[in-house]
Structure 1
Amino acid sequence: MDRRGVCKSLYSYSIYMDIQCKSGKPWRAVKLYKEMKKKGIRLDVVAYNTVIRAIGLSEGVDFSIRVFREMKEVGCEPNVVTYNTIIKLLCENGRIREAYGVFDQMREKGYAPNVITYHCFFGCIEKPKQILRTFDRMINSGVRPRMDTYVMLMKKFGRWGFLRPVFIVWKKMEEQGCSPDACAYNALIDALVQKGMVDLARKYEEEMLAKGLSAKPRVDLGTKPHTE
């Protein structure tokens, strides 16, 4: 745009940066951010959120934290997306304790964590008990899990071979009045089959089929994919 004599605005920069991030080229978004600073363009919260994500992916989470601090210093108030972005980057880098620190800071500032906030933790925590504590904290704070929350946790516990946590999540799902879909049933059945509990797995498969849901083909249960 500059080559054609058209000045880039904050809005256009924000769009370009977001496109670069989504196309797997975060370093280009960072380059645009530096260009904005050089031109004295004041970033808003949307632009900062994109920059924090981009610089975290291209240069590391510590650089994201620097931009996060810069954002607050220039008077741009972070929002839930900002905090979620920092939390996710920290979690993905194994810095779970620091992520919890940002989580607490977020609440102190009056921003309520949402489902996405908790998903950041669930995707990266590697300790079943810690996941369950965080899951309880989520529900007790009034954040309602989505179906993909339950499925994510059951799949994770199932891969690890932990059945008890799978059933804890299943029970919570029922207590929350959430009717299991095909993905939830399949996650539970996969966990049971992995532990050799074929009879119980078959019981749940029959239950889901009775509800009109589609089960995965499983050799262990005597079900095979249809062939033409």
Structure 2
Amino acid sequence: IRALSKLQKMEEASKFFAEMQEHGSPLDAAVYTCLITGYGNKKKLDKAYGLLQEMKEKGIRHDCRTYNALIKVMMILHKPDEATKLFEEMSQCGFQPTIHTYNMMMKLYFRARNPEMGFAIWDQMARNGCCPDVNSYTVFIGGLIREGRSEEACACIESMIDKG
């Protein structure tokens, strides 16, 4: 299912998924997340959200990867409001955002010309003890520069270098 989803052959992936269901094969969050990602990449959000709903109805516990897959789709489709809802739901369900989650949210807000929310995500990441990686710094520094805050960008670069 993962390979078919990556190749965006969703009809085949769905058939295989249906066969797995018919044969009683265990369907977990990983299988559903592959399908959600595939449908999201094809911009079939109704199918992606339908699968998330199906997971909930069947008691299949979604995980951080499931939320990240949906948030990534929203980032690609430039849908910051939907991504924000997912980000908030993720936290409400007890999932701690990963560095990848924070990076996607920052990137989404900076692209949407909402730098204050991008900066707020950076602050939230630090408050939650999530150490920024190279991608975090790249997104954040780019956001500072686009906002004309070059001195802060330089200070951030120096901080990154000091931290190694």
Instruction: Output the TM-score relative to the length of structure 2.
Output: 0.83
Cα separation, 2, equivalents of 1:134 and 1:114: 12
Relative to structure 1, the CA distance from residue 165 to residue 95 in structure 2 (aligned partners, 3 Å threshold; closer, same or farther) is: farther
Correspondence 1:70-219 to 2 at 5 A: 70-125=19-74, 126-209=78-161, 212-213=162-163
Provide structure 1 residue ranges, at least 5 long, that are not aligned to the other structure: 1-51, 215-228
Which protein has greater RCO, CA pairs closer than 8 Å, 6+ apart?
2
Unaligned runs of 5+ in 2: none
Higher-Rg structure is 1
Structure 1 residues 206 and 109, CA gap change in structure 2 (3 angstroms): same
Pairwise CA distance, 1:58: 4.8
Q: Distance in 2 between matches of 1:74 and 1:166?
A: 46
Tell me: CA distance 1:89–1:213, structure 2 relative to 1, closer, same or farther (3 Å). same
- 1:12-31 → structure 2 map (5 Å cutoff): none
Which residue identity does 1:185 align to in structure 2? Y
Q: What's the TM-score once normalised by structure 1's chain length?
A: 0.62
- d(CA) in 2 for partners of 1:189 and 1:148? 16
What fraction of aligned residue pairs are identical, expressed as a percent?
Answer: 28
Cα distance in 2 between the residues matched to 1:165 and 1:62: 38
Aligned length: 161
